[in-house]
Structure 1
Amino acid sequence: MTLDELIDALTYTEAGCGEDALADFERKVGAALPAGYRQFLARCNGGFSRGRLGVDPSPGLSLDFGICPDHFGGIGRGEVFSLDAMNAMFGRRPSDSWLCIVSDSMGNGLTLELKGSDRGSVFLFDGGQGAEVGEALGRRAGARMKFANSFLELVGNIAELSGDERWW
């Protein structure tokens, strides 16, 4: 999927963030946002997939399962789509080295690394819901596993689900 296709697939979107809002948020988190995610926020300030999208990890990574991303976070989007609210759900602070940018209906998140050698990479954060499934897959609550090398690579791995594949 392309960034344009992702934006078209989302509902409850808002117009993109202006440069001032992006710069303010970067000051708040203490790091410049990686280019691909910054581009997404500049064009579409988050949204909801309504269970219509699925994403698998990038080839070559150790994960063998995907997720159904629901909420794509935005800046100042209120209780549901706000990056602040999303990160509070996982106990994150703006000064931490990663930022939850996507959540799914099972309490998991996709996080964007903001600093260090993995800067720009996307990780799956196991939120601990659906524990019996996670344990069967060898996962544990709070674990982070590399999912994609960048936000735009993640977007390229997203596919629209149809029929029985949809979550709702």
Structure 2
Amino acid sequence: MELQAFIAALSGFGHAPASEADIAGFERTLGHALPPDYRAFLSLCGGGYMASQPSFKWSTGEWAGRVHTVGGLREDLDDYSLLSQWRAPHWKKPEDFLWILRDHGGNPIGLALSGDEAGQVFFLDHEMEPEDEDWEGTVADALEAEYLLPLAPSFADFVALVYED
């Protein structure tokens, strides 16, 4: 799917896209720079939900799920707020993982913010949550525990894997 079609498919409750100042402030809060393609998305879109729930694929081309909730830099609804999800996630998350959207089953999908995986998009399988003693809270540990599963090398590549049935 093209980025503009992805954005057009969102029901955003009329929330405005983020300004450059908003994005820079969010990066300061995270302590990490956002990938350029994701920054561009935030500057165009305030998040929302996908009424049509388009499908997305694994990098292998197989069906993976449906896009439901898409985050934005907004404070009106916690379930759609990147900042709220960063501060109080619904699931245990690696310290360097940013929730950006949720699938139809409630599984978080997000970006790695540091290390060799920075900028890559991952599916967090909440049914595979590791015990505290089994990981140190990093993306690399979550990958090893199969708690995070790779989806795409970038946000733009992920959007390209999204399609209307």
Same fold flag (TM > 0.5): yes
Q: Which residue of 1 aligns with 2:29?
A: 28
Output the CA distance in 1 between the equivalents of 2:3 and 2:59.
Answer: 16
Output the CA distance in 1 between the equivalents of 2:83 and 2:104.
Answer: 18
Q: Which residue of 2 aligns with 1:122?
A: 121
Paired residue type of 2:160: G
Count of residue pairs the alignment pairs up: 145
Gaps of 5+ in 2: 129-144
User: Residue deviations 1:26-50, cap 9 Å, x none?
Assistant: 0011111011111110000112102
Q: CA deviation at 1:109?
A: 1.2
Q: Which residue of 2 aligns with 1:108?
A: 107
User: Residue deviations 1:51-71, cap 9 Å, x none?
Assistant: 4311001238xxx54111111
Residue 156 (structure 2) pairs with residue 152 (structure 1) = yes
Q: CA deviation at 1:15?
A: 2.1
Q: CA deviation at 1:14?
A: 2.2
The normalised TM-score by structure 1 is 0.78
Q: Secondary structure at the match of 1:27?
A: helix
Q: CA deviation at 1:142?
A: 7.3
Q: Is contact 2:18–2:45 with CA below 8 Å preserved after alignment?
A: yes
Q: Secondary structure at the match of 1:66?
A: strand
Q: Which residue of 2 aligns with 1:164?
A: none
The normalised TM-score by structure 2 is 0.79
Q: Which residue of 1 aligns with 2:56?
A: 55
Q: Is contact 2:3–2:156 with CA below 8 Å preserved after alignment?
A: yes
Output the CA distance in 2 between the equivalents of 1:69 and 1:105.
Answer: 6
Report the aligned-residue RMSD: 2.1
Q: Secondary structure at the match of 1:89?
A: coil
Q: Which residue of 2 aligns with 1:75?
A: 73
Q: Which residue of 1 aligns with 2:135?
A: none
Q: Secondary structure at the match of 1:153?
A: helix
Gaps of 5+ in 1: 130-140, 162-168
User: Residue deviations 1:117-153, cap 9 Å, x none?
Assistant: 1111001101229xxxxxxxxxxx9710111000000
Residue 15 (structure 2) pairs with residue 11 (structure 1) = no
Greater CA deviation, 66-75 or 84-93?
84-93
Output the CA distance in 1 between the equivalents of 2:82 and 2:157.
Answer: 20
Output the CA distance in 1 between the equivalents of 2:121 and 2:107.
Answer: 13
Q: Percent identity?
A: 32
Closer/same/farther in 2, CA of residues 85 and 142 from structure 1, 3 Å limit:
farther
Q: Is contact 2:49–2:69 with CA below 8 Å preserved after alignment?
A: yes
